[in-house]
Structure 1
Amino acid sequence: MRNLFFYGTLCYRPLLDLVLEGAAHSARPANLADHAVYWAKDQIFPMIRPEAGAHAAGMLVTGLTEKAIARLDHYEGGFAYQLATMQVESNDGRHDAEVYFPEEGLWSPGVPWSLEDWAAEWGEITLVAAEEVISYMGRLSVKEVADRFQMIRLRAASKVRARATPSPADLRSSWGPDRVQVAHRSRPYTNYFALEEEDLSFPRFDGAMSPLVNRAAFVGGDAVTVLPYDPKRDAVLVVEQFRIGPYMRGDLHPWVLEPIAGRIDPGEGPEETARREAVEEANLTIGDLEHVGNYYPTPGAVTEYLYSYVALCDLPEDAAGLGGMLGEAEDIRSHVISFERLMELVRTGEADNAPLLLSAYWLMQNRDRLRGPS
């Protein structure tokens, strides 16, 4: 049996209970003398460091089994933490306990750590992400989990956003996911996307339950698309890049014309993502955002949910050029074209992806309003 002292995110009791699988019944407040806890600079988690006279507040859990330690090592092990034995103090005396210390020099301290502030913004996302991380025990190494964690957290943020987004049900059924009966679920593939598979039964419109069926979906993150429009010049900017979907389908032209687009990072809102992606993909600063719509492009197989906008901006001819994030292997060419040229691309089928088509049709309906009096 072993004792551990937690000072950061694992002091969030729902997360601790999940990772320890209910083995945290002995948890109680404690502190580690001559240490202090800070936000790791530019990160969303804390770090602990020696500091004379300070007291790091946290949680002591005693009597942990090797099974519980294995779950902890799987959850924390890929993130450059190492266990060291220290003496901590709780209301029932002093205890030797192991503490996760970050790798020396990896991060620098920011402002003092606040569990309450972290939990308000990141608690629910982290809890959903932890469920996926724990599911990989025995299947993926801690390094493989760490390599995938950015996408794990992005998927978790999308699930949290879906739960929090009001969704009207005036015409469609108001049934919720609680009406679906799941007999088995698995995740046979995970990397940039995850493939999740379930054997399930759902309520039919005739009142009966469906037979048990097998369904699978590609699980990704929510994303934003933004079509820049200059109402004075009556011009738009579209980007062109190689796309794996058309290539894998066998399309003769896998370089695709699209609006600017990108994943919504955890902690971002859709409009913030739109502005960031405009800079990253087209070196473009955009103005007011006009909301086109929110939608599932392929609800029969993909969880991706899109937030589409038309952005008002200035588009001189030299706004076109090359862009993209080299660190993400993006190679993007932008084109500034007239609205009439855009609609010609729609008519010929050269504009052949849903966000560009929807944004073009929305712009066709709203163009006169955006241009103002002639």
Structure 2
Amino acid sequence: MTAPNSGTDQPATRDRVRVIDTAVLSDDWYVLRKVTFDFQRRDGSWQRQSRETYDRGNGATILLQDPHSGKVVLTRQFRMPTFVNGHDGMMVEAPGGLLDNAAPDERIRAEVEEETGYRVRNLRKVFEAYMSPGSVTEKLYFYLGEYDPRDPNGRPGAGGGVAEEGEDLEVLEVPLEDALRMIERGEICDGKTIMLLQHLALHRLSQGAIA
């Protein structure tokens, strides 16, 4: 598939970028690089630029739903970056995590069980997205899945995450309509979670499941 551009006479992007230098600024938790490059503008001129890219690997996220009750499964956990930006730090989110070199569908099955205790049913990938393309390299794989709280074998654990990795998650089960109102009230302000909740709401609306 050819990448979209604003005109048929534009060269391929790879021919418009000349990397001059790449410097590692930090290699602690993840890798922060400064890339200096020449970029060919639309008028044909070349411009020297530099950008920092934060590479933490790709990830996956999932919204579990109970088709019988209409509830979805979310988590609440402390996030330091939001805390230092004025939030109280306790973020309500859809389960998710980094791939760590695993296939996205394989990793999300393990991640959702670690975080919520539930085994996912009817896993379905709905889309992929770059969450902060101006600075972060990460691409997220978005999934929908189902869970059954009535199945005695459907929740082999209590969830909560991996304590050794600093995780301490609270598992929430709320009706989809309540979760959408939580977005309006600012109680859910995580981008990936909002995207999945709205995607599910649109899907249900198309089926006449939401008035």
TM-score by length of 2: 0.87
Between the aligned partners of 1:338 and 1:195, the Cα distance in structure 2 is 39
Distance 1:264 1:335 in 2: 23
- Read off the aligned partner of 1:230 and give its amino acid letter: D
- Contact 1:240-1:258 at 8 Å conserved across structures: yes
The structure with the largest helix share of the pair is: 1
TM superposition shift of 1:178: 5.0
CA, structure 1 residues 213+333, in 2 after alignment: closer, same or farther (shift >3 Å)? same
Q: Which runs of 5+ in 2 are unaligned?
A: none
Task: Judge conservation of contact 1:226–1:311 (CA < 8 Å) in 2.
Answer: yes
AA at the equivalent of 2:93: E
Give the secondary-structure state (helix, strand or coil) at the position aligned to 1:346. Answer: helix
Aligned to 1:199: 36
Q: Is the 8 A contact 1:241 1:333 kept in 2?
A: yes
| Distance of 2:185 and 2:18 partners within structure 1 | 45
C-alpha separation in 1, matches of 2:178 and 2:140: 25
1:87 alignment partner in structure 2: none
* Structure 2 counterpart of 1:282: 116
Matches within 5 A, 1:137-216: 169-171=3-5, 175-210=12-47, 212-216=48-52
Among 225, 229, 254, the residue aligned to 2:61: 225
Aligned residue in 2 for 1:339: 176
Name the structure, 1 or 2, with higher relative contact order (CA <8 Å, separation 6+).
2
- The one-letter code of the counterpart of 1:263 is L
Find the aligned partners of 2:159 and 2:189 in 1 and give their Cα distance.
22
**Max radius of gyration: which structure?**
1
Instruction: Give the percent of matched residue pairs that are identical in Structure 1 and Structure 2.
Output: 26
In the alignment, is residue 256 of structure 1 matched against residue 91 of structure 2? yes
2:185 is matched with 348
Contact 2:114 2:159 (8 Å CA) reproduced: no
Structure 2 CA distance for aligned equivalents of residues 215 and 357 of structure 1: 28
Q: Deviations over 1:15-48 (max 9, x none)?
A: xxxxxxxxxxxxxxxxxxxxxxxxxxxxxxxxxx
Give the TM-score, by structure 1 length: 0.50
Q: Which amino acid aligns with 1:183?
A: I
1:296 pairs, out of 130, 140, 150, with 130
Matched, 1:241 2:105: no
SS across alignment from 1:202? strand
Contact 2:118 2:159 in 1 (8 A): no
The code of the aligned residue for 2:40 comes to P
Q: Size of the alignment, in residue pairs?
A: 202
CA drift at 1:174: 6.9
Match of 2:111, as an amino acid? E
CA distance in 1, matches of 2:54, 2:27: 9
Deviation at 1:171, TM superposition (A): 4.7
Q: CA deviation at 1:278?
A: 1.0
